[in-house]
Structure 1
Amino acid sequence: MGLIHIVFGQSSVPVLAEAVAMDEKMSGEIRCFEDDLSVGPLFILDTKEGRAGRRLFWQQLAGIEPAGPAEGEAPAAEAAGDPDDADLFKSLKAQLKEDPELEVWIWAGQNARDVCGYYWLVSQLYDFAGRIHIIYLNNLPFLNEKGAVFYPTHLHQILPKEFLKAKKLARPISLAEYELDGDEWHRLMNENAGIRLLEGGKKIKGEPTLFYDKELLAQSGKEFVKAWRIVQQVTGKLKYPVMDQFLGWRLKELIREGKLESRGDLKTIRDFEVKQPGESIENTTTV
């Protein structure tokens, strides 16, 4: 029997790969879906138009103009590192059809990215019921490097040897879950919130794109501070941190709206500083 492990985000791959190498019963291929579905548009994501809209979102976050590529250049979506999970999913379905013995284990930590990724996958895998398993590490205790108990929110926080215990949680997704969780995915697409937060269990709550703007402004003072430090201070307060790239984009939007001033190159959060509008001791450059 073949086995495919699925994770959401590259950071989960190394620890799971190490765990798989420890146990031949877990031996199998690891597939990683890169798109973080907890942020950005989801409307009609099951269509080419919806996927195109999402690619534009990632280009926007990366600061790439949406104009078409010049001859011989890579598409802007690729340049932005935009993952094409649709092709990876097509490949997965093809493998499942070709090999009736193949099973899939979906690994999900207690965070919005993994849960949204699970909803997206399960909404499309009904035809393979009984062969698709879920391992949802929801509010479960694990041991850290010092042997102390902790409750991880993300797979990459778990020691490889601890995954060997977690594998016992693998269970087939039920027919009721295919229906209910598939409906939940369609609700998320139709709601089309700017960001999605995990409230506990598998409950996802949508919030507007500017949800974190107030906190970003609150962490900004009258003197210039590195953008990455502002982002770090905000994420440090969150139970389920949102991706740095998203918060960096929101900082740039606040600058464009005149709610913050900046100096430096508005590329990554390592390249610029921000402060509240108004005079400061230092010379300022308003962007």
Structure 2
Amino acid sequence: MMDELREAIEKLPERGAKSYLFHILLRVHLLNNSVDSQEEILELLNDIQKRILFYSQERKLEREYETYHIVCGESPAGALKVGLSKENKVIGYPDFFSNGPLWKLHEEEGRKKRLEWLMDHINMHEDYLEMRYERKVAKALEEIDSIPAGKPIVIWTADNADEQTGLRYFLHLLRNKENNVHVINTAQSYKELFPAKKHQSILRHSGEAAPEKLKMMLENHLGSPLSAEEKNRFVSDWQSLSKTREVLRIWEDNEIHSVPESYFDESIIESAKKLHKSNKGFIKSARLIGEVIGHLDEPIGDGFAEYRVRSLIYNGILAIKGIPKSMRYYSIKLKEF
């Protein structure tokens, strides 16, 4: 067993090893401070050991692919996996970059600060944030780090702050690799391949594209790889973004702009007024958030929209009925109605 564990540890990438070490030291700290029972902590440490061994076995089964794709979000990653052949490896980064801090996100310290902000502001189950979210991010980073030399990489983006920020972040992570990197802008590609008909909405995010349409975009709009100069420009953009402290960004005039976190509050209030035309009483929070998200050109994510609804409640603009532990559990109305 010890030989097998030693071999597994030697195969861990540096980023993965640091992540496991952090969790081990955290459990030792908890043990010393008696936060959890010894049995619970020993069970968690055994779980980490199993994961290290499983990672090693999984790497043995991992094969090289012809092309590696990186995309923001698990939904568009799923669509790509359905639409593309098995020779394509899809890496979906499980985060939404338009909101939340970006400060030093390419370092462990920055990712810890981002996680703390999410836990303090976004209504997601604590266990999901502490375990599944953190684990998924670590897995995506390991997969990006493990892309073999010489294999082409495709980064999918669109005309929104989430994916444009992701594009710059991914290129920073890839800055020491000499692989050819292609960029497909799904919003622009969609516009060219499927000209909008009357009343047809534009593609706001890659996650809105069907698998077969993503496949057509790859076949028709792969284009030439980025030049060294273009890569450096995106990496420089990321280095600037990673120094910012703001928590909300929009895509405007082909640039990422940091804006106050209250930027979309007026849109939330106007959506509530619209819904009150047919309902003067309390409105399900989820219905209001759906109305807001459906009419914004900039996708902001339902988690951030729900956070701003709660902020309007705390500021006395909205009244509440229920418990705001998630958008399904409470209703709201404008106090003026």
User: Normalised by the shorter chain, which TM-score bucket?
Assistant: 0.7 to 0.9
| TM-score normalised according to structure 2 size | 0.68
Query: How big is the shift at 1:40?
Result: 0.9
Count of aligned residue pairs for this structure pair: 261
Query: Partners in 2 of 1:88 and 1:232 — Cα distance?
Result: 29
* Aligned sequence identity (%): 22
Match of 1:189 in 2: 242
User: Which letter does structure 2 place at the counterpart of 1:257?
Assistant: N
Query: How big is the shift at 1:115?
Result: 1.1
Pick the structure with greater CA Rg: 2
Going from structure 1 to structure 2, the CA distance change for 1:204 and 1:227 (only over 3 Å counts) comes to same
Q: Which runs of 5+ in 2 are unaligned?
A: 1-64, 274-279
Query: How big is the shift at 1:157?
Result: 2.9
Q: Does the 8 A contact of 1:56 with 1:77 survive in 2?
A: no
Q: Does the 8 A contact of 2:121 with 2:307 survive in 1?
A: yes
Give the alignment's Cα RMSD to 1 decimal: 2.8
Going from structure 1 to structure 2, the CA distance change for 1:208 and 1:275 (only over 3 Å counts) comes to same
Match of 2:79 in 1: 15
Query: Partners in 2 of 1:219 and 1:135 — Cα distance?
Result: 33
Match of 2:271 in 1: 219
Q: Does the 8 A contact of 1:235 with 1:242 survive in 2?
A: yes
Match of 1:143 in 2: 194
Query: How big is the shift at 1:262?
Result: 0.4
Q: Which runs of 5+ in 1 are unaligned?
A: 67-73, 281-287
Q: Does the 8 A contact of 1:210 with 1:250 survive in 2?
A: yes
Query: How big is the shift at 1:154?
Result: 2.2
Q: Does the 8 A contact of 2:77 with 2:90 survive in 1?
A: yes
Q: How does 1:174-253 map to 2 (within 5 A)?
A: 174-201=227-254, 203-220=255-272, 223-253=281-311
Query: Partners in 2 of 1:91 and 1:13 — Cα distance?
Result: 14
2:174 corresponds, among 125, 137, 158, to 125
Q: Secondary structure at the match of 2:262?
A: helix
Q: Does the 8 A contact of 2:94 with 2:137 survive in 1?
A: yes
Q: How does 1:27-176 map to 2 (within 5 A)?
A: 27-63=87-123, 77-78=130-131, 81=133, 84-93=136-145, 95-96=146-147, 99-140=148-189, 141=191, 142-143=193-194, 151-167=202-218, 168-170=220-222, 171-176=224-229
Task: Considering fraction of residues, name the structure with more helix.
Answer: 2
Q: Which stretch of structure 1 is more off in the superposition, 213-222 or 40-49?
A: 213-222
Q: How does 1:265-276 map to 2 (within 5 A)?
A: 265-276=323-334
| TM-score normalised according to structure 1 size | 0.79
User: Which letter does structure 2 place at the counterpart of 1:139?
Assistant: Q
Going from structure 1 to structure 2, the CA distance change for 1:160 and 1:51 (only over 3 Å counts) comes to closer
Query: Partners in 1 of 2:96 and 2:289 — Cα distance?
Result: 18
